[in-house]
A = this chain, B = another copy of it.
């Protein structure tokens, strides 16, 4: 991580250079409080996904607020979270390379010594056996690693589709003393972005049905499914109401992005505010467009381009792709006044996770984007932790 420009703390938000990722700390904390209250009211564990914020500072904040730990997708992310003081980490993804599995085992031992815990997902016999092999040289490794069997509940990516296969994997896990069968990973990623509540309801109902069939088969094989973990920011109230999920993995609710905001609101789940913004400055203006200094090296484009925040003064501006280093701003109507050179604007990123992953620091502002003050520089210490 690059050194943080800590001279900025205490400065007004107007002093923040561009392009920069700014967190509205008040909005973020309200989002977190709403999610914690929701999980508490449903008696569910909350294990937010740290792949979103990539920051051990924010992971600790979430745990102080009541989260049981964090999820990550990568071994390297787990290592960064552990280095940042997080003791309960779940790699909700498959790990296959022997060198990475050695790191997983070493990390599990480190966390165990600190009174914490490491968990991992598997979806193949090969995966279980490779993990078990990596634990062989570990001393005192009995029950060292919690292992979740991943079901493909509709995403069409990793995970097993047949409950029978899940049972075989759980049985294989049970054969290895260093591994403990901890339950089912059942996350439906695609469903998070289904626009209509009805579509999301149908998708999660199908996921829940598969989970229930799997639990029944596991019961018949005398395998106890202690925990079903999953759910994202688009659907978590549905998983929460299913009676089978015990843990919510949502991550994006903390920051909210333009893509999630396009979902039809589900009245059964709390609503979240945008808390992540990209500050940008106009550097060039001509007859029909203005150019700002935020291109797709500063924001992700996988879920659409950023939206121009109404705070920018000209809410009828649309952001167009200007390449790696530039954004193009055009008026939505012929009489829209284009911004002037030097004007700053606020963008709402299309997708928070890969946008955060482009930045080394999040600039935490207290008191709003117009008159707020920089309170905290939050290192994105797991940025680029790919392995």
Inter-subunit contact B157/A291 (CB<8 Å): yes
Q: Of B18, B95, B298, B384, which contacts A2 at CB under 8 A?
A: B384
A296-329 CB contact bits vs B (8 Å, 1 = yes)? Answer: 1110111000000000000000000111111010
* CB contact under 8 A between A386 and B302, given known A73-B325, A297-B354, A326-B157: no
Q: Secondary structure of the A side of the interface?
A: loop
Q: Of B17, B18, B99, which contacts A17 at CB under 8 A?
A: B99
- Whole-angstrom distance between the Cβ of A301 and the nearest chain B Cβ: 6
CB neighbours of A36 from chain B (8 A)? none
CB neighbours of A281 from chain B (8 A)? 96-97
Inter-subunit contact B360/A328 (CB<8 Å): no
- Contact segment of A27-35, A105-113, A121-129: A121-129
Interface residues in chain A, defined as those with a beta carbon under 8 Å from any beta carbon in chain B:
1-2, 17-20, 51, 73-74, 93-97, 99-100, 123-124, 126-127, 130, 152, 156-161, 189, 281-286, 289, 291, 293, 296-298, 300-302, 321-326, 328, 341-342, 353-354, 357-360, 383-384, 386-387
Q: Write the chain B residue with the least CB distance to A289.
A: B156
Q: Of B298, B354, B386, which contacts A359 at CB under 8 A?
A: B386
Inter-subunit contact A283/B95 (CB<8 Å): yes
Nearest 10 interchain pairs by C-beta: A158-B284, A94-B283, A73-B325, A96-B283, A126-B341, A17-B387, A297-B357, A360-B384, A298-B386, A158-B291
Assembly of this chain: how many copies?
Answer: 2
- Whole-angstrom distance between the Cβ of A344 and the nearest chain B Cβ: 9
How far apart are the CA atoms of A197 and B99 in the complex, in Å? 47
Inter-subunit contact B353/A386 (CB<8 Å): no
Inter-subunit contact B342/A126 (CB<8 Å): yes
How far apart are the CA atoms of A289 and B282 in the complex, in Å? 45
How far apart are the CA atoms of A342 and B158 in the complex, in Å? 14
Inter-subunit contact A157/B324 (CB<8 Å): no
Inter-subunit contact B301/A301 (CB<8 Å): yes
From A19, A126, A189, A284, name the one whose CB has the most chain B CB atoms within 10 angstroms: A284
CB neighbours of A160 from chain B (8 A)? 286
